[in-house]
Structure 1
Amino acid sequence: MTNERGPFPPPVDVRGRGFPSRAALGDVQRWIDARSAPPAPESVPLAEAAGRVLTAALVAPGDWPPADRAARDGVAVASADTLGAGSYNPVPLLNAVAVSAGDPLPAGTDAVLPVEAVQMDAGLKEALGSVAPGEGVERRGDGLRAGAVLLEAGRVLRPQDLGLLAALGVGEVPVAARPRVRILLVGGPRSGPEALGAMLAALVARDGGVAELVGPLPADRGALAAALAAPGADLLLLAGRSGVGEDDVAPLALADAGTLVAHGVAMRPGDSAGIGLAAGMPALLLPGEPMAGFAAYELLAGRAVRRSAGHDPALPHRRIEAPTTRKLVSEIGCVDLYRVRFTADGAVEPVASPALPGLAGAVRADGFVLIPAESEGFPAGSSVTVQCFDGTRA
């Protein structure tokens, strides 16, 4: 493992003083990536595998389909028996069996006539059209050959994947274990631990982790240090009391429980976030103001959860390119998470600037735009990349 502190200078107590400097977002993200545990494999039944990440490639245990079968509803026939058949020349079918799509092809047949090409006359089936050998038939192994790679390692399993695996007789699959994420909520009159806890638990689940909510805890340095040092988690999130007030003791508690690596990140909102280690586990300080906590989770903590769950650590949102209707104003020096919404014509407009707290703007927003630290924003008419929230329609 590299130096715990990495490129960061020793943090200082910012209570009542403010931040002398803030760490670059990219440096903090690289520190998180380097210390996020690789996914541990576990075997789970198919019923629990949707959305999980495969840790090993799966190969087809047999041919699929396992035998020639009907590819459509109709009548299985010997194709030679339909030669010359037409609506003006019905041909009697002596060896014809009604089949549904997916049924094994009966012996002595090699094609399937569609229902509309068959008529009954005095109890005898007649062909009103001809078929070539193999027409209307799915041959054995058309979909998969035994031993072929079915799904690659790293794939996020989808419902249709599970359907095919079940059809092939696969009962369990090797997937990345879900990281255990302990969320320590620090209470008090200035924070909203209930709102923050509900939101963070949902974000952890979205990213493949299992959240454990603890608290609200008192803003007591010793109590928080003890909570951070408790075993049984893969990642620790200490939410609240990370600012510059006299009772903002979360950074000091993290230092007591292990190592406070950096406090203060050049991002808005969420600039009072921090990183460190507690009992050997990565620990992140998240601001207690819900919107700031949301931003710090998205850009920092979520990376650790996703990487440990086997997912791509990058932001998981669908991206849409769209023009701005008005300027998105930013200040050089911080990455801004700018909440926006789509207009009726598919452009985007700001909902709330990064300097404004509160989740109301996030609820009204369709997504957000990340403005780089070296930029003063995007003028009206600029093409921007919107990171869309779940359920957003442009």
Structure 2
Amino acid sequence: MTTPLPGPPFYDVRGRGFPRRAPLADGWDWIDRRVAVPAARVLPVADCGGLRLADAVVAQGDWPPADRAAVNGYAVAAADTLGAGSYNPVPLTAAVAVSAGDPLPAGCDAVIPYEAAQAAGPFIEAIDAVAPGSGVERQGAWTAAGNALLPAGRRLRPGDLGLLAAVGHDTVSVLPAPRVRILIAGGPRAGAPEQLAAMLAALVGRDGGGVEAAEVVPADLDALAEAFARPGADLILSAGRTGPGPDDVAAPALARAGSIGLHGIAMRPGGSAGLGVVGAVPILLLPGEPMAALAAYELLAGRAVRRAAGLPADLPHATVRAVTARKLVSEIGCLDLHRVRLDGDGRVEPVASPGWPGLAAAARADGFVLIGADSEGVPDGVPVTMYRFD
């Protein structure tokens, strides 16, 4: 999964604060150099929902494999229905009842639906004419033998799994979901630890990962170091105890178990985030305040999960171009994530400043706007890109 690289000497910020915070781009570069696309695995089709195809899937034969009924009715020779109408029923001497999906019997080139036919004693009569090919799904209509059925890199949807099974693929080569361990270091200082675990588990699932475990670990250096070093995970997300307080043991525990690459990122919220490794396993340190944890995941940790899942590393959010309704105030030297609401006129306005804690404002927001570290803010009436939460 990763390539171990040496890290800088550890600087303990407890009681001293952060001497500097690294640009977010440095965090992205650290992730990109250490988290690799996983090796492909061949898995049963039924186990591949949400995973990405490692290779293109080629159709093993024509699909459909033969002409077949597209509707329920009677398979007929279209020529036998010529002139049929409600006032001129035409007897069908060779009609065969079929259901959608049945192969066409020999000599038939159309399917007349039940609504266009009627029983007359032991016979069937057409009360409407049909053209050749009507009600028929032609052989190879969707794909021919040897054609690409699904492209490499496709994230498999439920319908894709059904298609693969229908055309005879029992297994496919996919990029497996990374096993992500979620640790809540001592629990958040405000609120229940379950809110962080639930939020992070949902984000990991969105980004193609699978939660290997989610657990609360005491705010104890030895206990947290042991949780970092325990085998079984491809990535570890640790939320809480990342700041300069006396019981903020996450970074020292990571330094004890492995090494710290970066601690302190120039962004709001989430500035106490960090990155490191234990062996070859990347560890992402997220703040314990829930909104800061959300921002640090979206802008930093999510990139690692997506890369480990073989998904595009960039932010997965849909974007909207909008105009600011009010000025978005920012801080020079720090990338700011502004939670914003979109009005009916295509304008965005802030619902909370980047430094305001809690998830309530995020719940009221439609998305967020990023303001670069070189800016003091965005005046009203200026076009911006909003990243949609949904």
Corresponding position of 2:18: 19
Q: Which one is further off, 105-114 or 121-130? A: 121-130
Cα-Cα RMSD: 2.4
Separation (CA, whole Å) in 2 of partners of 1:131 and 1:215: 65
Inter-CA distance 84–279: structure 2 relative to 1 (3 Å threshold): same
Q: CA deviation at 1:266?
A: 0.8
Residue identity matched to 1:228? F
Is the CA contact 1:187–1:215 (under 8 Å) kept in the aligned structure 2? no
Residue identity matched to 1:285? L
Corresponding position of 2:371: 371
Inter-CA distance 28–48: structure 2 relative to 1 (3 Å threshold): same
Listed as ranges, the matches of 1:131-280 within 5 Å are 131-187=130-186, 190=189, 192=191, 193-213=193-213, 215-280=215-280
Corresponding position of 1:4: 6
Corresponding position of 2:124: 125
Q: Is 1:357–2:357 an aligned residue pair?
A: yes
Deviations 1:168-212 (A, max 9, x none): 232332222221112222116835533222222222222222224
Deviations 1:42-63 (A, max 9, x none): 3333333221111122121222
Listed as ranges, the matches of 1:337-356 within 5 Å are 337-356=337-356
Separation (CA, whole Å) in 2 of partners of 1:183 and 1:81: 68
- Which secondary structure does the structure 2 equivalent of 1:261 belong to? strand
Corresponding position of 1:36: 35
Corresponding position of 2:299: 299
Separation (CA, whole Å) in 2 of partners of 1:132 and 1:344: 50
Separation (CA, whole Å) in 2 of partners of 1:269 and 1:4: 28
Inter-CA distance 132–331: structure 2 relative to 1 (3 Å threshold): same
Residue identity matched to 1:384? V
Separation (CA, whole Å) in 2 of partners of 1:300 and 1:276: 13
Q: CA deviation at 1:143?
A: 1.4
- Which secondary structure does the structure 1 equivalent of 2:219 belong to? coil
Residue identity matched to 1:171? D
Is the CA contact 2:175–2:310 (under 8 Å) kept in the aligned structure 1? yes
Residue identity matched to 2:321? E
- Which secondary structure does the structure 1 equivalent of 2:165 belong to? helix
Q: CA deviation at 1:75?
A: 2.5
Is the CA contact 2:188–2:240 (under 8 Å) kept in the aligned structure 1? no
Separation (CA, whole Å) in 2 of partners of 1:212 and 1:110: 55
Separation (CA, whole Å) in 1 of partners of 2:342 and 2:90: 62
Inter-CA distance 93–198: structure 2 relative to 1 (3 Å threshold): closer
Listed as ranges, the matches of 1:302-341 within 5 Å are 302-341=302-341
Alignment gaps of 5+ in structure 1: none
Separation (CA, whole Å) in 2 of partners of 1:3 and 1:330: 34
Separation (CA, whole Å) in 2 of partners of 1:364 and 1:293: 17
- Which secondary structure does the structure 2 equivalent of 1:32 belong to? helix
Separation (CA, whole Å) in 1 of partners of 2:304 and 2:319: 21
Q: CA deviation at 1:265?
A: 0.5
Is the CA contact 1:53–1:157 (under 8 Å) kept in the aligned structure 2? yes
Separation (CA, whole Å) in 2 of partners of 1:161 and 1:389: 26
Corresponding position of 1:53: 52
Separation (CA, whole Å) in 1 of partners of 2:81 and 2:182: 70
- Which secondary structure does the structure 1 equivalent of 2:304 belong to? helix
- Aligned residue pairs: how many? 387
Separation (CA, whole Å) in 2 of partners of 1:126 and 1:320: 58
- Which secondary structure does the structure 2 equivalent of 1:251 belong to? helix
Q: Which one is further off, 189-198 or 49-58? A: 189-198
Inter-CA distance 65–266: structure 2 relative to 1 (3 Å threshold): same
- Which secondary structure does the structure 2 equivalent of 1:310 belong to? coil
Separation (CA, whole Å) in 2 of partners of 1:61 and 1:235: 37
Corresponding position of 2:281: 281
Q: Which one is further off, 328-337 or 73-82? A: 73-82
Q: CA deviation at 1:74?
A: 3.0
Q: Which one is further off, 329-338 or 90-99? A: 90-99
Deviations 1:30-73 (A, max 9, x none): 11012113223233333332211111221212221111112223
Separation (CA, whole Å) in 2 of partners of 1:3 and 1:126: 79
Corresponding position of 2:106: 107
Inter-CA distance 29–77: structure 2 relative to 1 (3 Å threshold): same
Q: Percent identity?
A: 64
Q: CA deviation at 1:160?
A: 1.4
Q: Is 1:380–2:380 an aligned residue pair?
A: yes
Is the CA contact 2:4–2:277 (under 8 Å) kept in the aligned structure 1? no
Deviations 1:113-147 (A, max 9, x none): 34444344455333344333323221211112122
Is the CA contact 2:187–2:240 (under 8 Å) kept in the aligned structure 1? no
Is the CA contact 1:239–1:285 (under 8 Å) kept in the aligned structure 2? yes
Separation (CA, whole Å) in 2 of partners of 1:159 and 1:310: 19
Normalised by the length of structure 2, the TM-score is 0.90
Deviations 1:197-242 (A, max 9, x none): 2222222222222224464333333332232222222112222111
Separation (CA, whole Å) in 2 of partners of 1:57 and 1:73: 34
Separation (CA, whole Å) in 2 of partners of 1:214 and 1:142: 47
Is the CA contact 1:201–1:213 (under 8 Å) kept in the aligned structure 2? no
- Which secondary structure does the structure 1 equivalent of 2:284 belong to? strand
Inter-CA distance 234–345: structure 2 relative to 1 (3 Å threshold): same
- Which secondary structure does the structure 1 equivalent of 2:53 belong to? coil
- Which secondary structure does the structure 2 equivalent of 1:153 belong to? coil
